Every structure is written in C-alpha cells, then in structure tokens.
Structure 1
Amino acid sequence: MEYKETLPGGIIITRMQETHATQLEALQRLVFPALSEEELLHADQYRHHVKLFPEGQFVALDNDKVIGATTSMRYHFDIQHPEQHTFFEVMGGGWLTTHDPQGDWLYGIDVSVDPAYRNKGIARALYRARQHTCRALGLKGQMTVGMLNGYAKVQHEMTIETYYEKVKAKQLFDPTVSVQEKIGFEITGLMKDYLNDPTCGNAGAVIVLDAAKEV
C-alpha cells in the first residue's frame, strides 16, 4: 500500500523506512525535549514499527532529510468508555506491543515536525496520510490523546480539569489540542496522568477523527 504526497516546496509525505530510524530518533529529541527518556521513541523501535505495521508509519522528507513523522497502530477503542492508560503503556514501552491487527481505530502515538519547518502544512499532511490508512483498512477513524501543552502558562491559576473544560468550550486556545480541532478532531474526554511532561500537567485530551472526514 504505497503512499506519496508532494507539498508546496517539494516536501514529500511517504512511508517510513528503516533507513530513516536514526534521523527519527534525533527528531524526537528535538521536538519533545521535555519527555522522559522512556517515553521518547528510539531508532531500534522505529525499525520495529516499520516491520510490525508499515501502513501506520509516515515521514515528511526535504530531499533525504527527515523533517516530520508520525507513528500509529491499530487499537480497540470505546469512545463512550475509554480505558485509562498511560502513554508508556499504550505504546508498549515504545515497541507497539499493544498493536492489534484487528483493532478498529488507528491510534496516533505522535506527530512531530522540525520547528524550522512548521507552518507549512506538514502536520496536517501527516494526519491526511493517516486518514488514507484508515480508509484503506476500513477503520472507524483515528484517535489519540493530545497533549495539553498550553497548561504550563496557567498552571498556577487553575487545575488541569478546569483548563481542559475551557479548551473544550473554546474559551482558551491550546497550542496542540486546539490546532488538532481545526484539523477535524473532536474532544471526547480528559486522560489524566497520561505522561510525564509538566508542560501539559501530565494530561491530555482524548480526541477522535472520523475516517469519513476530509483533512
């Protein structure tokens, strides 16, 4: 199942390859500097992802330079009753051991874009590539837990629960989750104690994107 999209400026969205692994680990460290070491993805893990579920792994390339990426897996998910889990647990310690070949949703582990290449539509294009996988495999759509990265600026003014409710009500703009909403995701819940990152109060918003939606 090949995939390729060329963006303005010649940036290419395509399938991840094992040869990208070293650059992908470096991109993780650049984009997610506050994540703990165990929550970062490493080169050996990327190589494993490509073998395990190649349909769910994409990169953005500027010539041979990896400047964006997304990792995903198939997962059983109940929108009405989402099970509490941590980022480390759901990604199988980074090895995607929780990938279910029969899962009816595409669980997005991450989307990363080199800061020097932002505002070029790369993240949206990576989500679009994931939509292609959802449709090709007949999945319900994609879901993830979006990091509430704007919480750090107001953490002394309100609880994470209050912040989440204000973002959901569009009273506050979150630099991650509100942007994901613009892409088409819908907020369905709060996942507390999801990861070890003080910038988001260790929490995230559960968000879903129906496979029928255009990105």
Structure 2
Amino acid sequence: MRKELYVFRDRKPMKAEIRNYREADFAELIRIQRESFPPPFPEELLWNEEQLYNHVKRFPEGALCAMADGRIVGSVTGLLIGSEQSGTAHSWQEVTDAGYIRNHNPSGDTLYIADICVSPEYRKTGLGKWLMQSMYEVVVHLRLRRLLGGGRMPGYADAAAAFAETKEAGFLSAEQYLESVMKGERSDPVISFLLRCGRTPVGVVPDYLEDEESMNYAALMEWKNPFWNGGNQ
C-alpha cells in the first residue's frame, strides 16, 4: 500500500503518506513507540527489531506507517486470526504472540490490531484516523469479515479513584466506565478516538495488558466489513 493525502496541522494543510513499513524503517518505528508510550507504560511492551522483522515478513499488508515532514510519525500493525481466537477471553500477549505474530493465520477472517501509535507532535492532525482507515481498506481488499482489537482505557484508573472518593464503598467497574464513555459522560483518549474511527465495543477484557492507567482492562472493539459476503469470492 502507498497513498498520499493531506491532513491539517494548526489549520494548515500538510502533505502526508501512508505506506507499508520495511526493515530500513525499524529504528524510526522504535523511536515513535518510545515517544507515543512514555512511562508508566511498560518499556518491554515497545516494539523490538525481531518483532518488526516478523511483521514485515509474515504479514506485510498489516504493517503500515504514516510519514510527514520527511519522516515516520506513526504506525499501525496487525495480524490475521481465526474465529477461535477472537473471543473476549484473551490477552494481548496471547492473541499477538507477545507482538511477534508467529501465530499469524493466513486463512483467518479477522484482522486483529496489535498496535497503533502516532507521535505526540502529530496528534490531532487526523493521521491516527487515517492509519485506522487504511487498515479498513486492507480488510476490504483481503475480503475479511472484520477488524478487531483491544482498546486501552487510559482514563479508567483516574476515574475509578475519583469515583471511590465520592461514593461510600463504591467501585466503578470497567464496564461502567466504558458505558459512561459511550453515553458521552466521559471522554477517554483511546476509546473516544476508536469510536470516532468507526469502531464498536463488543466487550470488556480483564488482564488484557499490563497497563496501570487502564487497570489492565481493555475494550474489545470491532469494525465489520460492509462488503463481506460470508467468505464467498
């Protein structure tokens, strides 16, 4: 894949490009990961070169990056999984093979998002949404049933702490937090972004990822291919 487009930065059009990433991009991709996921996000969950090598060799169609100002400023990575892997009872480590995607199933009908990130400097330009849109295009191109992935809920820990201070013996569950975001009572940096991208929640997953801000929870969210015809060519 390779496409050129314009996004807006400070109300000014900016030329950008989305393409498949390759081995020569690994150092830049690792830099973007560090910029996008600072502590307390666990450093060991950031991409390493072996993982990135697997991405470009096992499923290059699902390894995309965004470029602006002559450099990589974002990326998104996925793998194909079968229906037996896509239930709500899974962790990020299990479904992505800890990011190494050696379990990529070329016959799978679901594109699972392992990661999406945009450098903080280029957020609010629309590049994150364009990266997700590009993955929807991969789903349509490969005639897959849907796109799926777990969305972090980085606002959950603070919301739960604030809730506990105002309610006697009360606790805000992850399901309640997600519902409050869906009702517009709260905004979550990741979940609200995914909703704007067209993703729909299908459940809450406990112990999905070591993530203090999300209290290890994630919202499993999908995008259904509107052109899918049951697997018939």
TM-score by length of 1: 0.91
Partner of residue 119 from structure 2, selected from 105, 114, 117: 114
Paired residue for 1:173?
187
Structure 1 residues not aligned, in runs of 5+: none
Structure 2 residues not aligned, in runs of 5+: 8-13, 164-171, 228-233
Letter in 1 for 2:225: A
1:205 aligns with 2:219: yes
Partner of residue 15 from structure 1, selected from 10, 17, 20: 20
Find the structure with the greater CA-based Rg.
Answer: 2
Distance 1:82 1:48 in 2: 24
CA shift for structure 1 position 4: 1.5
Paired residue for 2:230?
none
1:185 aligns with 2:199: yes
Superposition CA RMSD, Å: 1.9
CA shift for structure 1 position 35: 2.7
Q: What count of residue pairs does the alignment treat as equivalent?
A: 211
Distance 1:15 1:7 in 2: 18
Partner of residue 159 from structure 1, selected from 173, 182, 189: 173
Paired residue for 1:139?
144
Question: Identity over the aligned pairs, expressed in percent?
Answer: 29
In 1, are the aligned partners of 2:4 and 2:15 still within 8 Å (CA)? no
Distance 1:7 1:74 in 2: 29
In 1, are the aligned partners of 2:22 and 2:56 still within 8 Å (CA)? yes
In 1, are the aligned partners of 2:150 and 2:220 still within 8 Å (CA)? yes
Distance 1:37 1:98 in 2: 23
In 2, are the aligned partners of 1:84 and 1:191 still within 8 Å (CA)? yes
User: Aligned ranges for residues 6-155 of structure 1 at < 5 Å?
Assistant: 6-8=5-7, 9-33=14-38, 34-77=40-83, 82-155=87-160
Letter in 2 for 1:164: L
TM-score by length of 2: 0.84
Larger CA deviation: 31-40 vs 145-154: 31-40
In 1, are the aligned partners of 2:88 and 2:204 still within 8 Å (CA)? no
